[in-house]
């Protein structure tokens, strides 16, 4: 297929992104069990951050390479006047690249609509009340379904059903609300949106599902740690609250962008065991050391210096020529 200059650039950018993202994504997928073991040796909050960064790395790095290397090398070294033949599989890769964000956007819009619908239903069936242990008013929903969720991305609000409020003693209810408050301050609903927005390896194939499940588990543990804050009494209260809400028959996940107290009932036994075995210490206040920040700046500077080298741009242009034909 013969394409003019600008269309060839778009085609090459799309194909480069798709192939690089596929290679990095497959590597991340293969490394997920090892990453999960490594995360298991970290504090949950740090582990959740590490796993989220690993999930977003293929897409972020591919965008960086396409914008910082492929595009400038093409603009600087490709003769503007020529019409060149582009191979069919290059065009196909570019088309696949376009479908990836399209699927992500559709997924996000659906998730946002379901979550907004859920919040609206809860607000219609409930009212705001002040509960002991929470300074801000909480939406309490009448009805028989037992649940406690944190809903919303911009202004997350806590929604609890009446059966949960009635069943939990004050200490347990306060511990459960502190757990949801931890999700609010670490913006876990926004991170769920990022996970939905991050492209898959192939359209309709959730190749990162295992990594996302491990992230969700550590996000829950981090919220448990924040809620407990090293206090053994709170630890027992939270474990009791989790068991009580599970006994009421709470459904794990109401909507994709909503964090439920029992996010995954398969993880319930492990969470309770963790809370009762040794009191989790709050992992807040972990700050990146100055050395890590300096190392980050130095590596970024080195990469930038390499990227603007004429030899690098020329090599990349050579690779793009291979990709075209």
DSSP code string of 185-200: HTTHHHHHHHHHHS--
8 Å CB contact between 274 and 228 = no
Contact pattern from residue 2 through residue 41 relative to Zn ion, giving x for each residue in contact according to CB under 5 A and a dash for the rest: ----------------------------------------
| Closer CB to Zn ion, 86 or 261, in the complex | 261
8 Å CB contact between 183 and 220 = no
Which residue blocks in 251-309 are alpha helix, DSSP H?
A: 268-277, 290-307
Q: How far is 118 from 112, CA to CA, in rounded Å? A: 10
Q: Choose one: 195-203, 216-224, 296-304, 309-317; the region binding Zn ion (CB under 5 A).
A: 216-224
| Closer CB to Zn ion, 172 or 324, in the complex | 172
Q: Choose one: 52-60, 152-160, 214-222, 239-247; the region binding Zn ion (CB under 5 A).
A: 214-222
Rule CB under 5 A: say whether 238 interacts with Zn ion. Answer: no
DSSP code string of 38-67: HHHTS-HHHHHHHHHHHHHHHHHHHHHHII
Rule CB under 5 A: say whether 160 interacts with Zn ion. Answer: no
At 241 the three-state DSSP class reads helix
Look at the block and give the residue holding tokens 């194939």.
Answer: 205
Q: Choose one: 168-176, 222-230, 242-250, 273-281; the region binding Zn ion (CB under 5 A).
A: 222-230
Q: What is the DSSP secondary structure assignment for residue 136, as one 8-state letter? A: S
| Closer CB to Zn ion, 24 or 138, in the complex | 138
| Closer CB to Zn ion, 36 or 250, in the complex | 250
Burial class from Cβ neighbours inside 10 Å (0-12, 13-18, 19+) for residue 273 reads: exposed
Site for Zn ion (CB under 5 A): which residue of 22, 151, 176, 223?
Answer: 223
| Count of residues interacting with Zn ion (CB under 5 A) | 2
| Closer CB to Zn ion, 212 or 220, in the complex | 220
Could you say which residues in the range 48-87 bind Zn ion, by CB under 5 A? none
| Closer CB to Zn ion, 223 or 245, in the complex | 223
Backbone phi and psi for residue 7, each to the nearest 5 degrees, phi listed first: -65, -35
Q: Choose one: 56-64, 74-82, 113-121, 213-221; the region binding Zn ion (CB under 5 A).
A: 213-221
- Minimum gap (Å) between residue 265 Cβ and Zn ion: 12
| Closer CB to Zn ion, 134 or 220, in the complex | 220
- Minimum gap (Å) between residue 209 Cβ and Zn ion: 19
Q: How far is 47 from 58, CA to CA, in rounded Å? A: 18
> Which segments within 120-241 are labelled E, that is strand?
126-129, 138-141, 148-151, 157-161
Q: Choose one: 102-110, 128-136, 158-166, 215-223; the region binding Zn ion (CB under 5 A).
A: 215-223
> Which segments within 213-312 are labelled E, that is strand?
258-260
Per CB under 5 A, residues contacting Zn ion are 220, 223
């Amino acid at each position: 297929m013969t394409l003019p200059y600008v269309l060839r650039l778009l085609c090459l950018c799309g194909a480069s992104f798709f192939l690089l993202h596929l290679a990095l994504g497959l590597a991340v997928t293969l490394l997920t069990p090892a990453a999960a073991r490594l995360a298991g040796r970290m504090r949950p909050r740090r582990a959740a951050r590490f796993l989220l960064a690993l999930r977003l790395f293929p897409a972020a790095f591919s965008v960086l390479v396409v914008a910082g290397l492929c595009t400038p090398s093409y603009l600087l070294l490709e003769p503007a006047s020529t019409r060149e033949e582009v191979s069919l599989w290059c065009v196909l890769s570019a088309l696949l690249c376009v479908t990836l964000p399209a699927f992500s956007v559709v997924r996000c819009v659906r998730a946002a609509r379901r979550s907004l619908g859920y919040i609206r239903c809860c607000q219609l069936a409930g009212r705001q009340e002040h509960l002991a242990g929470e300074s801000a008013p909480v939406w309490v929903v009448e009805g028989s379904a037992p649940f406690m969720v944190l809903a919303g991305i911009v202004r997350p609000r806590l929604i609890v059903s009446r059966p949960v409020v009635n069943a939990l003693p004050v200490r347990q209810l306060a511990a459960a609300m502190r757990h949801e408050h931890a999700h609010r301050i670490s913006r876990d609903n926004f991170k769920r949106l990022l996970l939905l927005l991050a492209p898959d390896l192939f359209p309709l194939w959730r190749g990162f599902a295992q990594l996302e499940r491990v992230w969700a588990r550590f996000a829950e543990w981090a919220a448990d740690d924040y809620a407990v804050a090293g206090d053994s009494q709170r630890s027992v209260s939270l474990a009791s609250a989790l068991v009580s809400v599970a006994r009421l028959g709470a459904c794990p996940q109401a909507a994709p962008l909503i964090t439920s107290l029992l996010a995954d009932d398969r993880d319930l036994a492990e969470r309770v065991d963790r809370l009762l075995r040794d009191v989790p210490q709050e992992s807040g206040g972990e700050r990146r050391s100055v050395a890590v920040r300096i190392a980050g700046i130095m590596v970024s500077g080195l990469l930038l210096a390499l990227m603007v080298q004429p030899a690098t741009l020329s090599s990349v242009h050579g690779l793009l020529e291979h990709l075209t034909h």
